[in-house]
């Protein structure tokens, strides 16, 4: 689903559904677009296509929310998380500058060492697409998020997307700042740490935002882009949803953890 007013993007969403659930899903998307905080769209496009290959089933990343004081503090913490995920200061700085300019429909794809960019079209970026969540995992996620007062479609959509991205071979981390002027929470996600929400990462009213994916192995950029845009992936299991935590507490908790195992559970049968 894509909704816009004039040339401005209002909202977009997608999912992978059983055939019998397509109709209700389309109605739900229309409802979401018409009630969006950015206002009513004047154009709403719905597209349906048959998924041609068996989706990979993955586990969602664990969710944490960091205590942050404001944009400078949240960005400093994002930079620390990126650095601990193997992203250089140079590459992170470049990503923050790209996101400050806003306006990209897809994500920037940067190598984690130098920040060299790999999107074939830099205006469009790379789109993480062909993704969804099973009904059972959606129910469990809704329950786990509502226990922490954060059950919102935006959080669920972002977690599904970040989980697909983190399951990609060669991905080191992702940085996201919402491009919705009214939504000031962003996140850093990585296979090593999970999905770490960063409230107050930008000032209310700011149109900046977008996503940057950091790549460990520059040689794998082509395969990565085709995985992100074309491989169907479904979140079939969730991971724990944690409390609001300080960065220090977060790193302490992770010192005691074993590295996470392989996230692809099985092909859907």
Give the footprint of ligand PML on this chain (CB under 6 A).
154-155, 158, 176, 178, 180, 183, 185-187, 197
Nearer to ligand PML, 198 or 233 (CB): 198
- Smallest gap from Cβ 179 to ligand PML, in A, equals 6
- Smallest gap from Cβ 242 to ligand PML, in A, equals 13
- Smallest gap from Cβ 159 to ligand PML, in A, equals 7
Nearer to ligand PML, 80 or 148 (CB): 148
What's the Rg (C-alpha) of the chain? 18
- Smallest gap from Cβ 19 to ligand PML, in A, equals 27
Is-contact 89 83, C-beta < 8 A?
yes
Nearer to ligand PML, 134 or 185 (CB): 185
CA gap 67, 70 in Å, rounded: 10
Distances in whole angstroms, Cα of residue 80 to Cα of each of 11, 23, 33, 245, 254? 30, 44, 35, 15, 14
Nearer to ligand PML, 205 or 259 (CB): 205
In the bound state, the residue with its beta carbon closest to ligand PML is: 178
Residue with tokens 């995985």: 227
Is-contact 95 202, C-beta < 8 A?
no
Nearer to ligand PML, 138 or 218 (CB): 138
- Smallest gap from Cβ 114 to ligand PML, in A, equals 26
- Smallest gap from Cβ 177 to ligand PML, in A, equals 8
Nearer to ligand PML, 117 or 202 (CB): 202
Structure tokens that stand for 205 in this block: 């009213």
CA atoms within 13 A on the CB side of 168: 35
- Smallest gap from Cβ 167 to ligand PML, in A, equals 18
Provide the CA 122 distance to its chain's centre, in angstroms: 19
- Smallest gap from Cβ 223 to ligand PML, in A, equals 26
Nearer to ligand PML, 75 or 197 (CB): 197
Nearer to ligand PML, 141 or 176 (CB): 176
């Amino acid at each position: 689903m894509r909704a816009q007013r004039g040339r401005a993007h209002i909202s977009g969403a997608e999912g992978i559904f059983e055939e019998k659930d397509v109709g209700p899903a389309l109605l739900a998307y229309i409802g979401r677009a018409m009630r969006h905080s950015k206002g009513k769209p004047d154009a709403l496009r719905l597209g349906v296509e048959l998924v041609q290959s068996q989706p990979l089933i993955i586990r969602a990343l664990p969710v944490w929310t960091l205590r942050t004081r404001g944009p400078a503090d949240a960005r400093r913490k994002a930079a620390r998380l990126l650095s601990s995920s193997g992203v250089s200061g140079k590459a992170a700085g470049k990503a923050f500058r790209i996101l400050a300019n806003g306006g990209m429909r897809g994500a920037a794809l940067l190598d984690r060492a130098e920040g060299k960019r790999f999107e074939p079209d830099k205006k469009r970026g790379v789109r993480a697409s062909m993704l969804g969540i099973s009904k059972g995992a959606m129910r469990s996620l809704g329950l786990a998020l509502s226990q922490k007062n954060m059950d919102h479609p935006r959080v669920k959509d972002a977690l599904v997307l970040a989980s697909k991205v983190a399951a990609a071979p060669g991905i080191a981390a992702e940085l996201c700042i919402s491009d919705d002027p009214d939504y000031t929470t962003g996140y850093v996600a990585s296979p090593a740490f999970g999905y770490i929400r960063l409230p107050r990462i930008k000032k209310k009213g700011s149109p900046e935002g977008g996503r940057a994916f950091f790549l460990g192995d520059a040689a794998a950029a082509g395969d990565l882009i085709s995985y992100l845009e074309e491989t169907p992936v479904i979140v079939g299991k969730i991971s724990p949803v944690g409390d609001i935590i300080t960065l220090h507490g977060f790193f302490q908790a992770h010192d005691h953890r074993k590295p996470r195992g392989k996230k692809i559970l099985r092909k859907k049968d």
